[in-house]
């Protein structure tokens, strides 16, 4: 295993989830599908939980 490969931190996971949630929200606005929008909300909540977990070091 290369030395540059390391596990992602919680904040990196949170940022990635936020970006996915924003992308899903944009797609939901274009196709006008509420289910996709709810998926983006779920992604945002998961990202917020990952951010809080990384900030407070809960796990």
Q: Could you report the per-residue pLDDT of 12-36, keeping only the tens digit for each?
A: 888 999 999 999 999 999 999 889 9
Give the separation between CA 54 and CA 21, rounded to whole angstroms: 18
> With bands split at pLDDT 50, 70 and 90, how would you rate the model's confidence at 59?
low
Q: Tell me the C-alpha to C-alpha distance, in Å, between residue 36 and each of 32, 40, 59.
A: 8, 6, 30
Helix or strand or coil: residue 44?
helix
Q: 53 falls in which pLDDT band (50, 70, 90)?
A: confident
């Amino acid at each position: 295993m290369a030395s540059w490969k390391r596990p992602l931190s919680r904040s990196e996971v949170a940022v990635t989830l936020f970006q996915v949630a924003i992308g899903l929200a944009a797609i939901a606005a274009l196709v006008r599908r509420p289910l996709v929008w709810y998926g983006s909300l779920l992604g945002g909540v998961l990202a917020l939980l990952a951010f809080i977990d990384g900030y407070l070091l809960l796990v």
